[in-house]
Amino acid sequence: MNRVFRLLLILFSVATGALFLYSAYTKLFPTIQAFEYNIAGNVGVTHIIAAIAARFFIGLEAGLGIMITSHFFGRRNWVLKLAFAMVAVFSVYLIWLWVKMGNNVNCGCFGGGIFMSPSTSLIKNAIILGVLGVLIRYHKGFSFDYVNAIPLINILCLIVLAFLQFPVFTHYKFKFDKLYADSTYAPKQDLKNGKHIVAFVSRSCSHCRKAASIMHNMKQKNPTLPFYMVVAGTDTAFYTFWQETHAQDIPWSLLPEKTFMEYTGGEFPQILWLNDGKVEANTTYPELDQKVIEDWMKAPNP
């Protein structure tokens, strides 16, 4: 085997592994919820199954990516063969998705960050399968006594890490009783039905102001975004809060300090994604992504 071909195999391995890693990364950021919603919406499974599947496949994909990039293929190249089988199974899923929902849907191969139709993704997968086939046939990687242990432990650790770092969020019924208990402070719209993103913010909190500013900017681009703010804090901070955030276009209502602290536990901002009264997510403001929110709004309830 000449040097040029060896170099080509190395480049193929690094590029393929990097693509697996990038794919795992885009499913995690800006938020893993986008991938969860994609699985639940396209496959029609419950939230808990979608959440478990999302973390499993992200961990598996990341583990395979690291091992392929590092040329740890295991005996008889089982790592490459596992990657080949996974891509092949996903390709069958893409064909099913294409037939069921058409070609104008996001297959979720790169999470919510990059839109990819089933047909485009099938072309991508065909290229990956071809490259993996060449690597399985001609590239051997490292070979030593514990060559199987390293990739196996790495892949299992990455799968476990995906669950530990991004715990499965269990949907729960939001307790509206205290929020609507006093007509003076009750929200000006019905948050019990439909989809709403409710942010508990304090006027004197710098992070809350950043959250309000982000929501305002998104609202400017898409006025239909269902933001609502439950506001607390001192009256002296009222003017500077609006001056800094320009978030007056977001519906809001005040909440007494004591009740606000009972809802937030003293940690704010808290941004709750409500769907017919159920909390589907509790995110931080850096995780707010306009496209993810718009996809969530359009997604049917499983």
Return d(Cα 106, Cα 87) in angstroms, integer: 17
Q: Do 224 and 294 meet the contact criterion of CB atoms below 8 Å apart?
A: no
**DSSP 8-state class, residue 247:** G
Multiple choice CATH, 172-298, 3.10.20.740, 3.30.360.10, 3.30.479.10, 3.40.30.10? 3.40.30.10
How high is the pLDDT of residue 236? 67
The β-bridge partners of 278 are 173, 275
Q: Do 66 and 154 meet the contact criterion of CB atoms below 8 Å apart?
A: yes
Return d(Cα 115, Cα 104) in angstroms, integer: 10
CB atoms within 10 A of CB 42: 20
Q: Do 34 and 295 meet the contact criterion of CB atoms below 8 Å apart?
A: yes
pLDDT in tens, 33-68: 888 888 887 888 888 898 999 999 999 999 999 999
How high is the pLDDT of residue 235? 67
Amino acid at 118: P
The answer, yes or no, to whether residue 96 has pLDDT greater than 90, is: yes
- Tell me the pLDDT band of 10, cut-offs 50, 70 and 90: very high
The answer, yes or no, to whether residue 277 has pLDDT greater than 90, is: yes
pLDDT in tens, 154-181: 999 999 999 999 999 888 899 999 999 8
pTM score, whole prediction: 0.78
* Domain positions in the chain: 3-165, 172-298
- Tell me the pLDDT band of 296, cut-offs 50, 70 and 90: confident
